[in-house]
Amino acid sequence: MSEQIQDLQLEHSKYITDLGDWTRTCSCSHLTAEDVGRDVCLMGWVQFRRDHGGLIFVDLRDREGLTQVVFSPDVAPEAHEQAGILRLEYVIAIKGRVRTRPEGMANPNLKTGEIEVVVHDWKLLNTSKTPPFAIEDRCDAGENLRLAWRFLDLRRPCMQKNLILRHRAMQAIRRFLDEDGFLEVETPFLTKSTPEGARDFLVPSRLNQGSFYALPQSPQLFKQLLMCSGFEKYFQIVRCFRDEDLRADRQPEFTQVDMELSFVNEEDVMSMAERLMQRVFKDVLGRELQLPFPRMTWDEAMRDYGVDKPDTRFGMKLVELTDAVRNSGFKLFAQAPMVKAIKVEGGESLTRKEIDAYTEFVRIYGAQGLAWIKIKSDTEWQSPIAKFLSEEERETIRTRLEAKTGDILFFQAGDPEMVNAALGNLRVHIAQKLNLIPADSFNFLWVTEFPLFEYDKEEHRYVACHHPFTSPMEGHMELMTSDPAHAKARAYDMVLNGNEVGGGSIRIHSAATQMRMFEALGFSDERAEEQFGFLFHALEFGAPPHGGIAFGLDRLIMLLAGCQSIRDVIAFPKTQKATCLLTSAPSQVSQAQLRELGIRLREAPEKKAEARADKPQA
């Protein structure tokens, strides 16, 4: 079969010609009734072909849209006859005249549906093999196929729309920041590895064998140096690299809108960031955002939502019950470090199967189970646990959760980290399942007063929550060493519909404080000097107070475009195993290349493959 098709394509390819002196006069989306009578030249791809024997209709597609062109034996017999060879995705140029469609033949679904172009002459600019999937929005090809044929996938109008939207957002950002006095400065991609934070992508140095560059996780240090250099307002739309596992909203290389400002405090940065978002939403979606955005401290976020990036488009807040059940006869509750609950209004109708599914869901976060109470009436509570609760406890639960007949309550008891994660994520999960999230709403939120440190159980030490250059809040300097768990940072995250879209902080600009921070993180003087000496020295020479923020551009565009994955707003994304199905990167390199770099693999790749195949079979 494929031979047959290739023969066909080969045969057709004989008719391919160059543009010659033909010039495109307009795109495939612009012609309307006002253009009737105009002679035009369109170029594009064959989207659909409807051959009626007599008339041949072709929907011609370019990046802007579709126009129906008609090959008629009455108008141009030769052009009509030759049009028989047209197939999907053939590239053609047509010259013809715009005319209104016959009475009742307009297509209201098409922007250009009132008119058509009747072809006088046309050229075959290229043939195409039959694409492996339909080049249409409604195409339901699997993502692996789409990624392997990404250049075809990107022809689909929805993908074009996403990348056009991305472009518009980037231009809006550049315009705003330029007008606001920011300077765009590029920083190195080949830079120094710093073990704090994410895993680095390493690049071997040929001229310095045994040494490696790292690709930047972010331009953090360079932008602070630029502040020390006196540029005052910097920005960059820049690729960042982190060698960590992928998610729907995480790629190994991703784009940040990175900004840094001198002589500012939190208010200045947050206000600027809000106005930037306002501009982007105005220019890209034509939507007005109300400023300022609501704010919430990290403590409040964890208390009410269990997560540091609350989705505020719906309620169902977490309610604290730890104190109320401290002396409960129900030992599981009484002994738990934390007990919290959420209420699903009208959730009494949930089936056992649905509740079981939610129980499975919270197990992901380490929960042992999921206690629930269905409020059948004021007095009748259907629940596996209600019988363990005293009347007083019931009353507290009823009051705090404002429980009414027809509701269901879900409880979680245990370590605060687990309770918050389980209920916080269950809250969002249920809201999605039950369609409680209003469509087409954008809820921005600032989360502030983040902890300065978090305890790393593996390394048995405190590590920076944001990064080690974040300034502690006023009055929290002493806590850095005396009580690191309670030290708070001058850090802020911008949250949009439950997604972290940006984060930043006021930085440490005093060398003494920076040194203290390294002490708190358990760095020796030597190690601090070796790894961050250049920043430290810059702080010693008149560093201005400064702070900044960085936005995850891919996530922001994903939300603007209404997509579920950032892969849909990145032209050439990687799979979850960080491979590129189009180019087959990463790939093996020659021994000669490795030798030049002074690198020898511990195990030859072929041997590894063999080892896999040799594994004993059951």
Partner RNA sequence: GGAACGGUAGUUAAGACGGUUAUAACGCCGGCCUGUCACGCCGGAGGCCGAGGGUUCGAGUCCCUUCCGUUCCGCCA
Among 26, 91, 125, 141, binds RNA (CB under 7 A): 141
**Is residue 245 part of the contact set for RNA (CB under 7 A)?**
yes
By CB under 7 A, the residues from 524 to 563 that bind RNA are none
Minimum distance from CB of 366 to RNA (Å)?
A: 7
Q: Which stretch binds RNA (CB under 7 A): 24-32, 72-80, 265-273, 331-339?
A: 72-80
Among 121, 137, 184, 244, binds RNA (CB under 7 A): 244
- CB-wise, 142 or 210, nearer to RNA? 142
- CB-wise, 82 or 194, nearer to RNA? 194
Query: 114 near 132, Cβ under 8 Å?
Result: no
Minimum distance from CB of 288 to RNA (Å)?
A: 30
Q: How many positions of this chain bind RNA (CB under 7 A)?
A: 81
Q: Please give the backbone phi and psi of residue 56, each rounded to the nearest 5 degrees, phi first.
A: -120, 125
- CB-wise, 248 or 599, nearer to RNA? 248
Minimum distance from CB of 138 to RNA (Å)?
A: 6
Query: 334 near 327, Cβ under 8 Å?
Result: yes
Minimum distance from CB of 617 to RNA (Å)?
A: 4
Among 29, 271, 497, 575, binds RNA (CB under 7 A): 575
Q: Per residue in 487-508, is it b (16+ CB within 10 Å) or e — as a string? A: bbbbbbbbbbbbbbbbbbbbbb
**Is residue 586 part of the contact set for RNA (CB under 7 A)?**
no
Minimum distance from CB of 295 to RNA (Å)?
A: 22
Among 22, 57, 189, 572, binds RNA (CB under 7 A): 57
- Which tokens is 31 given? 């012609």
How many other C-beta atoms are found inside a 10 Å radius of the C-beta of residue 130?
Answer: 11
**Is residue 199 part of the contact set for RNA (CB under 7 A)?**
yes
Residue 477 to residue 169: CA distance in whole angstroms: 39
**Is residue 334 part of the contact set for RNA (CB under 7 A)?**
no
**Is residue 355 part of the contact set for RNA (CB under 7 A)?**
no
Among 30, 38, 63, 87, binds RNA (CB under 7 A): 87
Q: Which stretch binds RNA (CB under 7 A): 278-286, 341-349, 440-448, 461-469?
A: 461-469
In terms of Cβ atoms closer than 10 Å to its own Cβ (0-12, 13-18, 19+), residue 127 is: buried
**Is residue 464 part of the contact set for RNA (CB under 7 A)?**
yes
In terms of Cβ atoms closer than 10 Å to its own Cβ (0-12, 13-18, 19+), residue 271 is: middle
By CB under 7 A, the residues from 487 to 526 that bind RNA are none
By CB under 7 A, the residues from 101 to 130 that bind RNA are 101-102, 105-107, 109-110, 113, 116, 130
Pairing mode, if any, of strands 39-51 and 183-184? unpaired
- CB-wise, 172 or 578, nearer to RNA? 578
- Which tokens is 385 given? 């646990």
- CB-wise, 131 or 204, nearer to RNA? 131
- CB-wise, 277 or 464, nearer to RNA? 464
**Is residue 618 part of the contact set for RNA (CB under 7 A)?**
yes
Among 183, 190, 248, 512, binds RNA (CB under 7 A): 248
Residue 487 to residue 458: CA distance in whole angstroms: 21
**Is residue 198 part of the contact set for RNA (CB under 7 A)?**
yes
Binding to RNA by CB under 7 A, coded x per residue (else -) over 419-438, reads: --x---x-------------
- CB-wise, 236 or 328, nearer to RNA? 236
Which positions ≥6 away from 250 have C-beta within 8 Å? 244, 566
Residue 376 to residue 382: CA distance in whole angstroms: 7
DSSP-based three-state secondary structure for 303: helix
Query: 410 near 342, Cβ under 8 Å?
Result: yes
Among 20, 53, 286, 605, binds RNA (CB under 7 A): 53
Residue 296 to residue 308: CA distance in whole angstroms: 10
Which positions ≥6 away from 582 have C-beta within 8 Å? 147, 148, 149, 150, 151, 572
**Is residue 54 part of the contact set for RNA (CB under 7 A)?**
yes
By CB under 7 A, the residues from 204 to 233 that bind RNA are 217-218, 220
What is the crossing angle of helices 266-280 and 157-179, to 10°?
A: 140
Among 352, 387, 460, 577, binds RNA (CB under 7 A): 577
Rounded CA Rg of the chain = 31
Which positions ≥6 away from 535 have C-beta within 8 Å? 221, 224, 225, 469, 514
As a 3-state breakdown, the chain gives helix, strand, coil percent values, each rounded to 5, of: 35, 25, 45
At 235, the amino acid letter reads: F
**Is residue 197 part of the contact set for RNA (CB under 7 A)?**
yes
- Which tokens is 562 given? 């209404």
Binding to RNA by CB under 7 A, coded x per residue (else -) over 144-173, reads: xx-x--------------------------
**Is residue 250 part of the contact set for RNA (CB under 7 A)?**
yes
- CB-wise, 253 or 348, nearer to RNA? 253
